[in-house]
Structure 1
Amino acid sequence: MLDAGGGGGFGKMAASMKGLQQAAADGSFAVSETGGKALLVAIREMAKWVDDNIADLGTLSRSPQLGSSHGAEAMKPYVREVATDQQGFLTMLREFRASLVDAEAGVVGAMNNYRHIESSVESTFRV
């Protein structure tokens, strides 16, 4: 499907989540326990929302009941395609859901980085 507006919102977000995970893995990103917990709550709530709603949103992948006029028949496949093609809403929503796994791993890694940095700094002040 042609994407005249540039699109890619969920796709770009998925790439960002992978980048967050990689930044935490290489130690270039750290987050405090308090900040990390807040981020994890948000990530988990979003994942739960997607999980709870993806089945209902699946109705978008079926041909809509628009009637049998020539216009309705012409629109039916287009409406379904917008939801399910390579850049469709459901496709991007599934990618987004998968990216939340990367985001969660990234935040956990960043929290571990922060703890490591804190303990390293703390040890320099011990006598």
Structure 2
Amino acid sequence: MIFGIGTDLCDAGRMKKSLTRQSFVNHVFSPQEQDQLNTLHGKHRAESAAANFAAKEAFLKAAGTGLGGFALPELAVLRRESGAPFFALTGTASAWAAANGLTVHVSLSHEAGLASAVVILEQQEMDQNR
């Protein structure tokens, strides 16, 4: 069953400027995300960071918590070897997702300086006889 759906857009040009401030990078991105972003350069780095940021915002919308729900680095958006994105939740975000029986689905895209993300939180059917 669908627990929540969220979507968001992020401007890659604005993200490129923000990435020059290490305090911003540490506040928003997990160490694993930073490692992945550091393998990219120029336009690709800004677009990927913008897509990750949009995914985090979309997650918070789907969760219904707003910006104060979880620390942004707890919502790490990583890439599989195939390039497919996935969330690697940690801390309170991981505990919350587990307590609610949630599976997180994410789709990312970027074009013409904009990055977008869609997040679906799928809740496993709970046994009503417990």
TM-score category of the 2 structures, normalised to the smaller one: under 0.3
Please, what TM-score do these two structures have when normalized by structure 1?
A: 0.25
More helix as a share of residues: 1
Larger radius of gyration: 1
Please, what TM-score do these two structures have when normalized by structure 2?
A: 0.24
